[in-house]
Amino acid sequence: VIEESKNEGLPFLKDKLREELKKLKAESKSISIYLVKMGIDHFDIDINENEEDENIVIRYKNSTNDKNKLKNCLSDGEKTALAFAYFLSKFENEINTPEKVKDSVVVIDDPISSLDDNRLYSTAHLIWRNFEEVKQLIVLSHNFLFLKFFNSFYCGKANCLFLDGEKITDLPDELKNFETPYFYMLKTIIDFLDQNNQNVNYNEAKRYLPNFIRRVLETF
């Protein structure tokens, strides 16, 4: 009886799989569109419906060869952009009514990791345009230049907060008109050297100070 039930269920599961693959194939077109908006236009993403494993196809525009090994043929920046484009596509296809959008809380964690600087502005603009109607949008990043671009679209009305150790504080003055991390890192070094400053913990500072000193010297 168990074997018979399994056999009866198999065609249904295969139909379900084909249905999901068709849905992914439609989404892959959205993903390719978002990749172009992020400045990545040298490859497209597609789904091979005839394969159950390794069925994501990377189609390079300057080559006739298709590839399906994401981990082997994409750079870290391209993987970041692809993952974020997939997220944008899922939001577009699943949060697909004005009511759902207005009730959404969206959290985006460091969407520009490993991207080069010339894609920071386009990515910030893409987030602003795609999520301006949501209930709440939280964007986390280590890159102050990206956050400055992002904040500029809101004309300074976005709340900019700073994670300092385990505390969330207001953005320090030296980062409010951010042009370069030089001034922030320099002030951090000066604070560490100040014998009267009781707020600096050596065990924490030793993790970032050598890197800060190196980058300040390089900039200088």
DSSP 144-157: HHHHHHHHHHTTT-
What's the distance, CA 149 to chain centroid?
15
Measured between alpha carbons, how far apart are the two ends of the chain, in Å?
A: 78
Q: Which pLDDT score is estimated for 1?
A: 46
Over residues 24-37, mean pLDDT: 81
Q: Which pLDDT score is estimated for 130?
A: 92
3-class secondary structure, 45: strand
pTM for the whole thing? 0.65
CA 89/CA 34 separation, integer angstroms: 8
Sign of the torsion formed by the C-alpha atoms of 12, 16, 19 and 21: negative
3-class secondary structure, 59: strand
Pairing of strands 56-60, 66-67: antiparallel
CA 6/CA 12 separation, integer angstroms: 10
Over residues 136-146, mean pLDDT: 87
